[in-house]
Amino acid sequence: MWHSVLAAGAATSKDPSGIAIAFFVIFVAITLVITYWASKRNKSANQFFAAGRSIKGWQNGIAVAGDYMSAASFLGIAGIISTQGYDGFLYSVGWLVAYLTVLLIVAEPLRNLGKYTLADVLAYRMHDKPVRAVAAFSTLTVTTFYMIAQMVGAGSVVNLLLKLDYNLAVTIVGIVMVCYVVFGGMVATTWVQIVKALLLIAGTIVLSILVLAQFNFDFGKFFDQTTKVQSGKLTAAVPAGATEVTVTSGVAKGQNIQIGSDGAANETLKVVDVVNNTPWVYSLADVLNNDVPVGATVTDRAGNQYKVAAAAKANTKAIRLDKNLPVAAGTLGLSQKPEVVVNGQSIKVISTAPASITAKLDHPLANAYPASTLAGSPTDFMKPGRRYSNTQEKWGALDLISLGMALILGTAGLPHILVRFYTVPNAIEARKSVVWAMIIIGTFYIMTTFLGFGAATLVGPANVGTVDGNGAFVVNTNLAAPVLADKVGGEVFYAFIASIAFATILAVVAGLTITASTTFAHDVWYSIIRNGQERPGEQVLVARITAFVVAILAILLAIAMPGANAAALVALAFAVAASANLPVILFTLFWKRFNTAGAVGGLCGGLISSLFLIVISFNGPLGANAPFQLENPGIVSIPAGFLSAFVFTFFSKETLSSHKYTEMHFRAETGIGAEVAVGHAIGAVPAVAAAPSPEE
């Protein structure tokens, strides 16, 4: 019954299993073979950046799904649903619906107008350099946010399964990812994503079946159990007749407490009082350099002193102190973290929580229960409002709308998704790509129901995480799917699912890296710095160098933000993409009056507003004192992006972009001339379609 909890604890206290190592080695070996094969085909910039436009629609559809089903999808969503219930499932709904925007609006014209990057489309009928410069910066910003989430997820999974230090795990992922991009280019990245997508779908189907098997494949019983989830567990065994119990969390004065297992409570009692016990568990951003004895003094940045309540070993990431920090640590990786000084080592604190809560009961227990039995106030995970309601937070309803806007509109502005449409030979195959992607992604997101609610019901929200070498439980919502796999499938399946998560991260990070590399090499180096003139092979060389730089940046940022939920971080990337990129894409394609000033203004307005709101939100350095209290800035920054694009266009006198609109529209609809050498952006269409373009 408690195999998952014990395994999670053992994961940090014993040597990694041979099965886990074997799965990781096999996958990495397969992908490196693909990279070697792909390296033989990279003879030109077209092959390196766009796979020679030789990818079939169904192949690209699977690769798009592989790019889209990231650590946020597999790890982050399962984790959020397992702790936030129905409100967490809204991430699945938002990201699935988002592909309708891609299918109906942007996929075909992007394929017909672009060459390698999003900026190719935006600069088609505008003055080239200013639009490319700002578009490139926007692309790099979005991919950076997205990449942080993947790397954080990678560190969590590898740290759990292979017992490698989080920082080392992140570094290894960065190195392997660079190999894919530098040597294999888009061909290797595409096929790695195809392999990963197929593995992910297969693993998710099997995991869903195993979860449903626990309920005899009775959907009614499965969802009924989600109304009886306990969010805490007993920290110590209790005898029959006890009048108080010690739990990890999930109880409050006046509530009922259920004690039982797997959603089936053995008895229910009323809590007449609660006591937050000391010590408090401090989850740390980095490992302790040295052993810390009981009674040692710890200080925070404000000079407050605390006593160590339990000995902490070196190389662990948790410590128990005799009282809580005066400033609560945030739950997202972008939050400003309190810092404590331990033996001269300054470490940020990811989260703080009482090691246990004493619940005093209204009558004695009828039964005896062992430690780790699920215990807490029952939580209906199918009821909306656990995360987004005005009773939970002041702006809950607006936060939900803001999140929905970011998720649904952001996909159509994600650079690493949009560049995938340049790998197919024509617009028909681009449409096929989206249809295939929607089928696969839809299937996957439906199954996140069983992953998230299955983890909540079978494992329990209080058990989503690991136990360190000191016996302190460290919450990590990114581990819901692997811990659930261990619960229902045992060690072999647990290792397989964790390996799939690792594969997921590698593939998505590779896609992000090649997008960032292509953007810098093509839009900044080739188009702006070199004015469209280059020596043979120079563009690919610059892209490869950029890949190394991007990898180093991603590694450093991920190391600085441990403990972040992958889905929450990616949602911020979607908000930036929806605010900066989408308004300019839509106006470029469908508004004749739109011009260079509008494109630059829209990109800057959306980018600046979204980033500024993130900085002044509680995700930023101001924490709980931030003036902007919404979790996602989309509800403000997306309209700001559209408004900026409109206002700057309205006050500009430029006419060149209007004259070139007919030419652009013809190519967007037909694809004729899409492969002609670069002219203003990528070439000229037949004279019958081209409108005159007088100089201003």
- Per-residue pLDDT tens for 395-453? 777 888 888 888 888 888 888 777 777 778 877 887 888 888 888 888 888 888 898 89
Structure-block tokens of residue 157:
């999974």
* Whether residues 250 and 297 fall in one domain: no
Domain edge (last residue) among 566, 593, 615? 566
Alpha helices in 128-184 (DSSP H): 128-161, 166-179
Mean pLDDT, range 186-197, rounded to an integer: 82
The pLDDT score that the predictor gives to residue 265 is: 63
Are both 97 and 148 inside the same structural domain?
Answer: yes
- Cross-strand partners of 465: 475
Query: Residue 633 domain-assigned?
Result: no
Nearest C-alpha neighbor of 465 from the set 79, 149, 23, 151: 79
pLDDT in the model for residue 508: 76
- For the stretch 647-696, pLDDT in tens is 999 888 887 778 888 888 888 777 676 554 333 333 333 433 343 433 33
Same domain? For 541 and 426 the reply is yes
Strand 318-321 and strand 305-310: the pairing is: antiparallel
Element (H, E) at 474: strand 473-475
Q: Is the per-residue pLDDT at 100 higher than 80?
A: no
Give me the mean pLDDT over the 482-509 stretch. 81
For residues 112 and 79, membership in a common domain is answered with yes
Tokens of 230: 């306990």
Whole-prediction pTM value?
Answer: 0.73
pLDDT exceeds cutoff 70 at 541: yes
Instruction: Note whether residue 635 is domain-resident.
Output: no
Residues 401, 505, single domain; the answer is yes
Nearest-5° angle of CA 277, CA 283, CA 286? 155
Question: Are 272 and 300 members of one domain?
Answer: no
Of 666, 662, 648, which is closest to residue 693 (Cα–Cα)?
Answer: 662
The answer to whether the beta carbons of residues 328 and 250 sit under 8 Å apart is: no
| CA end-to-end distance (rounded Å), the chain | 75
Beta bridge partners of 379: 229
Q: Which of 502, 537, 566 is the last residue of a domain?
A: 566
Do 55 and 123 belong together in one domain? yes
Strand-pairing partners, residue 668, are: none
Higher-confidence residue of 234 and 332: namely: 234
Residues 402 and 544 in one domain: yes
Mean pLDDT, range 604-616, rounded to an integer: 89
pLDDT for res 597: 92
The structure tokens listed for 282 are 């401090």
Do both 299 and 404 map to the same domain? no
* Domain match, 327 and 306 both: yes
Q: What span, in angstroms and rounded, lies between the C-alpha atoms of 666 and 579? A: 27
Averaged pLDDT for residues 132-147? 85
Q: Answer whether residue 598 is part of any domain.
A: no
Domain count, the chain: 3
DSSP assignment letter at 582: H
Average model confidence (pLDDT) across the chain = 78
Backbone φ, ψ for residue 17 (5° rounding): -75, 150
Q: Which two tokens stand for residue 105?
A: 């609006």
The whole-number pLDDT of residue 635 equals: 92
Residue 262 lies in a domain: yes
Domain-located, residue 662: no
pLDDT higher than 70, residue 611: yes
Buried b (16+ CB within 10 A) or exposed e, 255-289: eebbbbbbbebeeebebeebeeeebbbbbbbbbbe
Strand segments, DSSP code E, in 28-148 are: none
438 and 524: one domain? yes
Q: How far is CA 415 from the centre of its chain?
A: 15
Q: How many CB atoms lie within 10 A of CB 295?
A: 10
Going by C-beta distance under 8 Å and a sequence separation of 6 or more, which residues neighbour residue 192? 31, 34, 35, 66, 180, 184, 506, 507, 510
Residue 643 pLDDT > 70: yes
Structural domain containing residue 236:
232-277+358-376
pLDDT score of 13 more than 60: no
* Amino acid, res. 165: D
Position 601 pLDDT exceeds 90: yes
Are residues 137 and 12 part of one domain?
A: yes
Average pLDDT over residues 14-38: 75
In a domain, 668, yes or no: no
> What is the per-residue pLDDT for 161?
63
pLDDT digits (tens, 9 = 90+) for 543-575: 888 888 888 888 887 777 665 556 667 778 888
pLDDT confidence of residue 413: 83
Phi and psi at 360, nearest 5°, equal -90, 130
Query: Does residue 216 surpass a pLDDT of 60?
Result: yes
**pLDDT value, residue 400:** 84
More confident residue, 336 or 457: 457
Q: Please state, in angstroms and rounded to a whole number, the distance separating the CA atoms of residues 501 and 76.
A: 11
Contact 378, 229 (CB under 8 A): yes
Q: How far is CA 232 from CA 146, 355, 357, 386, 450, in A?
A: 32, 12, 10, 16, 21
Assess if residue 597 is contained within a domain: no
Residue 478 has pLDDT above 80, yes or no: no
Q: What pLDDT, on the 0 to 100 scale, is given for residue 679?
A: 38
Distances (CA, A) of 362 to 36, 183, 381, 513, 594: 68, 67, 26, 58, 69
What CATH number has the domain bearing residue 528? 1.20.1730.10
Percent above pLDDT 70 for the chain: 83
pLDDT digits (tens, 9 = 90+) for 40-82: 776 667 777 767 677 888 888 888 888 777 766 777 788 888 8
φ/ψ of 577, rounded to 5, equals: -65, -45
pLDDT of residue 442: 86
pLDDT in tens, 221-277: 888 888 777 777 888 888 888 898 988 877 878 888 888 765 556 788 888 888 888
Tell me how far apart the 2 most distant CA atoms of the chain are, in Å: 91
Q: Quick one: what percent of the chain has pLDDT higher than 90?
A: 6
From residue 213, give the alpha-carbon distance in Å to each of 15, 85, 217, 309, 444. 31, 21, 5, 43, 18
- Is position 609 within any domain? no
H or E stretch covering 376: strand 374-376
**pLDDT for 622 beyond 70:** no
